[in-house]
Chains A and B, each alone.
Chain A
Amino acid sequence: MMNRYFIVLLAIVAGFALMKPGKDPVIEVPKGWPKPTYDFRKNPLNEPTIELGRQLFYDPILSRNNQVSCASCHLQQTAFTHIDHALSHGIDDRIGNRNSPALVNLAWGKSFMWDGAVNHLDVQALAPIENHLEMDEKIANVVKKLQASKTYRTRFFNAFGDSTVTGEHTLKAISQFLLTLTSTNSKYDKVMRKEKGVQFTESEQKGYVLFKKHCASCHTEPLFTNNAFENNGLIPDSTLNDFGRMTITHRSSDSLKFKVPTLRNIERSPPYMHDGRFRNLQMVLFHYSNGIHHSPTLSPQLKNGIALNEQEKGSIIAFLKTLTDADFLANPKYGYPR
């Protein structure tokens, strides 16, 4: 009996020793990509937990009136964001303060939300669940509702070996599903991998060269974000008075800075910017060429705007469209659970 415990203990210790940080059987880190930020050792991915996370992601039980789910503002077909709305809307048709971000490659995220208010993927879901404009619920009550459901008790048991629902397990399950949302198979990725028969068109190639010159210092490959906060010269919207990162750090040097968003699947996730002010990519590029608003925290790279003619803008847009990952947008593992 004792020896058996010892062997089990040894197996666990050996298991931990063999597991390398950032390497996980479910998430494949493409060659040349940085190590994920997420510490998988503290929440090792496994199928039943990922599946539980998917159920929770698509279940409006997370909201006060059981009508709003994560998927309400994060639809797979539109790169897990809310299109057609500048500001995403939540419970009782309340309008939020910002445009919901696309959910992709979150294992590499260093902070979450446009202002980095959330410091870890595990606690991200708390924000929309408890925001009165989004789901307007309390995590303690979500746990109570899940505990009352026999189906969920079974799912939690399958995932964690414990049918008692806790806030920790609820959040970790949602994280597991979110961590699987990796987009690594766009045309851009295939070209970079030198896959047979896949090549940039002339316009895409020109766009890529221009992109590397003018955009890549913030939208850094391969994640197409440097995970930093930047003021990209948007004139403040007086109806919102959103100062971005400064709200969190209280530092005036962070005024009007917002998280640099990834550009993966950008074609499918309009409108653009934290307040969804630009309906299309042409408007975004016009902003960078002609619309930069000067303020003390403006990113130095944008001091003189980005000089681009119409043809060059067209090339950059052609390149950006190579970041669309059809496999990601249609992957049945990410879809509504059946």
Chain B
Amino acid sequence: MRGFLRDSAVVYPNREFSFWKNMLLSFIFLASFSLTAQTDWSISFNPVIEQQPLVLSRVYTIKNDSFRIETLRFYVSNISFLNEGKTVFTEPASYHLIDAQDSSSYRVSFHSAKKVTFDEIRFNVGIDSATNVAGALGGDLDPVKGMYWSWQSGYINFKLEGWNPESTARKHEFQYHLGGYITPYSALTSVQLPVDNVKPTIGITVQLASFLEQLDLVQLPAIMSPGERAVELSKTLPTIFSAK
């Protein structure tokens, strides 16, 4: 790629002066930009339960109710940044597995060749339908990640497993595997958050307490297949995200 650029940058001797002048001007122009611009920035997902950061297997108490979370894993995909409603940056091949077992997965970094100013971030929670029918994929989309249904093709968008004394399931556990891409049971949801791009890292809070409140642990302690119930519960997912 770089070789290609070099080959095409043909220098004409009679224009040498103007060429160097242009180069100098371009350099000053770019340098002045880079002083204030952010071409490298990141977002960081911070799962919390009320005010406390999530620690797996720890017992939390919300309104006299005890919870333990054993698994939290979800896909964030198709991340884009907007400024005044216009898309200014779209991450290519944007699929990220956020896994509470691996806090390094919480941070997603971006690089842009030119400066971007934005006031909004958009992303999907889950995997789009085209990717759901694309066969075996690698990286965060590799089926070894435990986010792919083997018996019925498709990704699990959001997985939360844990324990609560009210749960009517075995050992008072609960399991929510939310996914599904076939109409009318598409569980993909999208999130739009106003953000401030002054800081190089944008913190995104994932408030699990708001999700836990939606659950009916007596009637429905587990959802593990696509369908109406998965769609209903997935619709609440965008509300658990907020940007600092």
Residues of B bordering A, CB below 8 Å? 1-4, 6-7, 132-138, 142-146, 148, 150-154, 182, 185, 227-228
- In the complex, whether A131 has a CB less than 8 A from a CB of chain B is yes
Chain A hits for B136, CB < 8 A:
120, 122-123, 167-168, 171-172, 175
Given contacts A123-B135, A131-B150, A248-B152, contact A140 B2 (CB under 8 A): no
Nearest residue, chain B, Cβ from A43: B135
Stretch at the interface among A2-10, A88-96, A182-190, A314-322: A2-10
A122 touches B144 (CB 8 A): no
Contact digits for A163-184, partner B, Cβ 8 Å, 1 yes 0 no: 0001111011001000000000
Instruction: Knowing that A120-B134, A126-B143 touch, tell me 13 more A-B residue pairs with CB under 8 angstroms.
Output: A2-B3, A9-B1, A43-B135, A122-B135, A123-B135, A123-B143, A123-B153, A130-B151, A167-B144, A171-B143, A172-B136, A248-B152, A250-B185
Q: Contact residues of A with B, CB < 8 Å?
A: 2-3, 5-6, 9, 42-43, 117-123, 126-127, 129-131, 139-140, 143, 166-169, 171-172, 175, 248-250
Given A6-B4, A139-B144, A249-B182: A126 and B150 within 8 A (CB)? yes
Contact, CB under 8 Å: A167 / B227:
no
Min distance, Cβ A71 to any Cβ of chain B, angstroms: 19
Which residue from chain A places its CB closest to the CB of B4 in the assembled complex? A6
Tell me the complex Cα distance, A139–B149, Å.
11
B-chain residues with CB within 8 Å of residue A119 when the two chains form the complex = 132-133, 153-154
Q: Which of these, B4, B148, B150, B227, contacts A250 with CB under 8 Å?
A: B227
B151 cross-chain contacts in A, Cβ below 8 A: 117, 127, 130-131
* A9 to B2 alpha-carbon distance, docked (Å): 11
Distance (whole angstroms) from the CB of B236 to the closest CB of chain A:
21
With contacts A3-B3, A42-B135, A43-B135 known, is A120 near B142, CB below 8 A? Answer: no
Q: Point out the residues of chain A lying under 8 angstroms from B3, CB to CB.
A: 2-3, 5-6
Nearest residue, chain B, Cβ from A141: B144
- In the assembled complex, the Cα of A36 lies from the Cα of B146 at a distance in Å of 30
The residue in chain B whose Cβ has the minimal distance to the Cβ of A249 is B182
With contacts A119-B132, A122-B136 taken as known, whether A140 is within 8 angstroms of B153 at the C-beta atoms is no
User: Can you report 29 A-B residue pairs in the complex whose CB atoms are below 8 A from each other?
Assistant: A5-B1, A6-B1, A6-B4, A42-B134, A42-B135, A43-B135, A117-B151, A117-B152, A117-B153, A119-B132, A119-B133, A120-B153, A123-B135, A131-B151, A139-B143, A139-B144, A140-B144, A166-B144, A167-B138, A168-B136, A168-B137, A168-B138, A171-B135, A171-B143, A172-B135, A172-B136, A175-B135, A175-B136, A250-B185
CB A140 to nearest CB in B, in angstroms, measures 4
Q: Give the complex CA separation of A249 and B6 in angstroms.
A: 55
The list of the 10 closest CB pairs from A to B, nearest first, reads A2-B3, A122-B135, A122-B136, A130-B150, A167-B144, A171-B136, A168-B138, A6-B3, A126-B150, A119-B153
Q: Which one of A6, A42, A117 contacts B7 once the chains associate, using CB atoms below 8 Å?
A: A6
